[in-house]
Structure 1
Amino acid sequence: MIKQNPFSVYDFLGYLVPGSIVIYSYLIVDYAKKHSEFVLKEFTDEFLDLKFEGIFFFVILSYTLGHIISFTSSVTVEKYANWTYSYPSKYLLDMRFKTFWKSISGWKDFIWRIIIIVILLPCILLDLLFGQFLGFKRFYTKKLDQLLQDLIVHKLNKLLIKLGIQEIEGYTQFENGRANDADFHRIATHYAYENSKNHQAKMSNYVALYGFLRTLCFIFNILAIYTFIRVWVYLQFDFKNVLIILILSGISYLSFMAFMKFYRRYTLEGLMVIAIDETL
């Protein structure tokens, strides 16, 4: 098993870097409000004289903000992905799932989905256009071929038997789809992580990458919304301002696609460990 460091890759990519991006974004916005043109050298000169205390405060603030942004992105970006496309463990195995609106179980679910649509509007609009209408979703939600599906499902059933699921009342017929609606991937991931030292580092890196890209998606999505509101209220929709909004929205959606890619890879890595496990 790999050794856990006090400061992991996930801490760096998942918290420190996103927090730093938020701080620099704020400083750039503040600079843009005070100047008619953005001069990179003039902007960077303000940070060259930072002392140790300033650097230490910057790191702590970035790390703290990173935690907040990471949590917020997990309950918005990741929720949207799971409600729209289901979990990777489901669509990889071509399992049925309820879509974004059909999975609503009450008025609270309905309100929460409306909130997420408002918060992630730029990214969602591009996902509707490119992901669903133009079919880009096939790049990050592609199911496995039938052979791999059958092999993985067979091995997952063997794993559940090995762990004693048949001794639990009501699960004697789980092979006929009884476990499809359950969180079987949590069991598969823990088993794969504990029983494959060669794949632990790769799985940890995938988690760090999809967490980082999820936060990037959220940050640039919020920046796109902020820029749109600022242009609408204080400026005008000329070519330059519209281009900035489109670029920020585009980066948000590209980050979303990359997040979905590594979300899928992380899930697939664990499932493939189960598939090639000769003890099952």
Structure 2
Amino acid sequence: MPTKQNPFSIYDFLGYLIPGAILLLSASGLLSIFNNQSLDHYIPDLPATYQAATFLAAAYIAGHVIGIVSSFSIEKSYIRLNGYPSRCFLKHEPLGTDAPKTKMEKFWDLHLKVAQTVCGAILGNNSYATDALKAPIVQIINTKLEFYFSKEHKSSNLEKIIQSEHFHHIYHYCVENAPNHLSKIQNYVALYGLMRNTAFTCLIAFWLIIVESFTQIVHALFTSSTLTFSTPRLITGSAALLCFSILYLGFVKFYKRYSLEIIMAFSVSYSYKPKAHESFSKKILS
């Protein structure tokens, strides 16, 4: 039986390796700028081959940690502010949420609002927003969703499922029944994960610079030493914030494309076919 879902791909590997490598290299660069010590200072003296293998393994593991944290911070924050793209495309409620937020949720939401403001100022548009599909297409897809859940799954709470929980169902339907769309879906998953993880890495670099600068200010105040303006800190911090904003926009772009691809794959591949027992029942009743 052929494998429909590739459990491991080059996109998946790079989606974790690249952000992890960027994080380690950023840490090394910050150490060299602020403390005149590179990351090599903290690594035992090993042959070049072992150093490369160790770096790749550490970057891959760090990438997985970044992926876990970014999914609970950046992605969840995007959903709170803008709603799931799959719901927005089909004009389903709820979209964003107005529920009371914790301090940590407000903290992450603030970063995304800054990124949206920066992207809007640079690009002059609202690229992070999700536009609904045209009304005739929305009607066709919603009708198919109603048939899918009422006929295939015999759902008794149809409205709730369609409004809030339909996406995972139709994703698995597409995996089983829309092979021509599967490779594109997988690529979009890997790409939006890469953008999200790398954006989070840039955010870490930004806050490392903020913390380091604050530490230097506190040290200067307590020791009565001269506080000097650091151009490298300003440039590096601004670049990290700008990269975060652009990569966040890339995450939103591919997240929306992933959601739209699944919706459209379902709409063109699903058609209701009465089961044999249903046809027999109709013949008896007629």
Q: Deviations over 1:140-181 (max 9, x none)?
A: 412211122112111222221342224xxx33xx2xx33344
Matched, 1:33 2:30: no
User: Matches of 2:95 and 2:9 in 1, distance apart?
Assistant: 36
Partner of 2:25: 24
| 1:123–1:252 CA contact under 8 A, matched in 2 | no
- Read off the aligned partner of 1:64 and give its amino acid letter: I
Matched, 1:268 2:265: no
- Read off the aligned partner of 1:186 and give its amino acid letter: H
**Aligned equivalent of 2:192, options 210, 221, 229:** 210
Partner of 2:147: 158
Partner of 1:67: 64
Partner of 1:76: 73
| 2:170–2:263 CA contact under 8 A, matched in 1 | yes
Please list, as runs of the form range in 1=range in 2, the aligned pairs for 1:47-62 lying within 5 A after superposition.
Answer: 51-62=48-59
**Aligned equivalent of 2:208, options 197, 208, 226:** 226
| 2:174–2:265 CA contact under 8 A, matched in 1 | yes
Cα distance change, pair 7–89 in 1 and its aligned pair in 2 (3 A):
closer
User: Matches of 2:265 and 2:6 in 1, distance apart?
Assistant: 24
Number of equivalenced pairs: 255
User: Matches of 2:6 and 2:127 in 1, distance apart?
Assistant: 36
Instruction: Name which one, 1 or 2, has greater alpha-carbon Rg.
Output: 2
Partner of 1:142: 131
TM-score, L = length of structure 2: 0.78
Please list, as runs of the form range in 1=range in 2, the aligned pairs for 1:237-248 lying within 5 A after superposition.
Answer: 241-248=233-240
| 2:118–2:242 CA contact under 8 A, matched in 1 | no
Deviates more, 1:235-244 or 1:23-32: 235-244
Partner of 2:87: 90
| 1:221–1:249 CA contact under 8 A, matched in 2 | yes
| 1:131–1:137 CA contact under 8 A, matched in 2 | yes
- Read off the aligned partner of 1:260 and give its amino acid letter: V
Match of 2:248, SS state, is: helix
TM-score, L = length of structure 1: 0.79
Cα distance change, pair 9–142 in 1 and its aligned pair in 2 (3 A):
farther
CA RMSD of aligned residues (A): 2.9
Tell me how far 1:207 sits from its aligned partner.
0.4
| 1:140–1:261 CA contact under 8 A, matched in 2 | no
Cα distance change, pair 255–138 in 1 and its aligned pair in 2 (3 A):
closer
Give % identity: 27
Tell me how far 1:266 sits from its aligned partner.
0.5
Cα distance change, pair 64–52 in 1 and its aligned pair in 2 (3 A):
same
- Read off the aligned partner of 1:28 and give its amino acid letter: G
User: Matches of 1:216 and 1:21 in 2, distance apart?
Assistant: 8
Unaligned runs of 5+ in 1: 105-109
Unaligned runs of 5+ in 2: 217-226, 273-286
